[in-house]
C-alpha cells in the first residue's frame, strides 16, 4: 500500500495528549478532522501504528491534534519526530484542476515544447503554491502556481506546460 506525507509531529502540546504537527498537505481540514485515519511512521520510514484523529485545532503555524485513545503526554511523547501519512485508499477524489503533491512532484516541465526541468518540491509561502523546478546547469526555477504561468498539467502524460513570465527566471 502507498502512503503519502501529511505532516510531521514536532512536539507535544500540554499534558492532555495533544501534539504539534507541521502540516505538509493542502487538505489540512480534511486530513486532521475528527475521525480521519492516519498512520505514524518513524524516522526510518517504518510503520509504527495506525491512528484516528480525536481532535484538531490550529495554533499559529501548527496544527494541534490528538489521537483517539491517547489522552496523556506519556502516551504520545515517543512519537515526537515521527511522520504522519495517509494511506492511498483514504485519499478523496479531487475536483478538476486540483492535484495531490505526489502527482506533481517529478513531472517534466516544458515551455514552448522545450523541456526546462522537473518539479522537485512544492512550497507554500502564502497566497499560492510555488513549484520548484530542478534544471540542468542552472539554479532551480521557482514558479508560482497561477493561471498565467502554469498553462496545463497532464499527470497521465507526465507533463506540465508553463509560460515563464518576465522576471521569474533571473538567469535570462
pLDDT profile of the chain (172 residues), mean per 10 = 89 93 83 93 93 92 93 93 90 76 90 94 81 92 91 92 85 58
Neighbours of 33 (CB within 10 A): 13
First to last CA, the chain: 43
CB 163 within 8 A of CB 169: no
Give me the residue spans of the domains in the chain. Answer: 3-90, 101-162
Closest CA to 98 of 33, 155, 22: 155
Helices (H), the chain: 28-31, 73-76, 101-104
pLDDT of residue 8: 93
* Cβ count near 170 (within 10 Å): 9
pLDDT at residue 172, as a whole number: 53
Helix (H, G, I), strand (E, B) or coil at 29: helix
Measured in degrees and rounded to the nearest 5, phi and psi for residue 36 equal -65, 145
Per-residue confidence (pLDDT) for residue 60, from 0 to 100: 84
Q: Domain 3-90, CATH 2.40.30.60 — does that match?
A: yes
Domain 101-162 matching CATH 2.30.30.240: the answer reads yes
Amino acid at each position: 500500500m502507498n502512503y503519502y506525507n501529511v505532516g510531521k509531529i514536532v512536539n507535544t502540546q500540554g499534558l492532555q495528549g495533544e501534539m504539534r504537527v507541521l502540516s505538509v498537505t493542502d487538505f489540512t481540514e480534511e486530513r486532521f478532522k475528527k475521525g480521519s485515519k492516519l498512520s505514524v511512521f518513524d524516522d526510518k520510514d517504518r510503520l509504527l501504528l495506525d491512528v484516528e484523529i480525536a481532535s484538531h485545532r490550529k495554533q499559529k503555524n501548527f496544527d494541534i491534534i490528538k489521537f483517539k485513545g491517547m489522552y496523556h503526554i506519556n502516551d504520545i511523547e515517543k512519537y515526537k519526530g515521527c511522520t504522519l501519512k495517509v494511506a492511498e485508499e483514504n485519499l478523496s477524489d479531487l475536483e478538476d484542476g486540483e492535484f495531490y503533491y505526489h502527482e506533481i512532484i517529478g513531472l517534466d516541465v516544458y515551455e514552448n515544447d522545450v523541456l526546462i526541468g522537473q518539479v522537485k518540491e512544492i512550497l507554500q509561502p502564502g497566497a499560492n503554491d510555488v513549484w520548484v523546478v530542478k534544471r540542468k546547469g542552472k539554479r532551480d526555477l521557482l514558479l508560482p502556481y497561477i493561471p498565467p504561468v502554469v498553462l496545463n498539467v497532464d499527470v497521465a502524460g507526465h507533463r506540465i506546460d508553463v509560460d515563464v513570465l518576465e522576471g521569474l527566471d533571473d538567469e535570462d
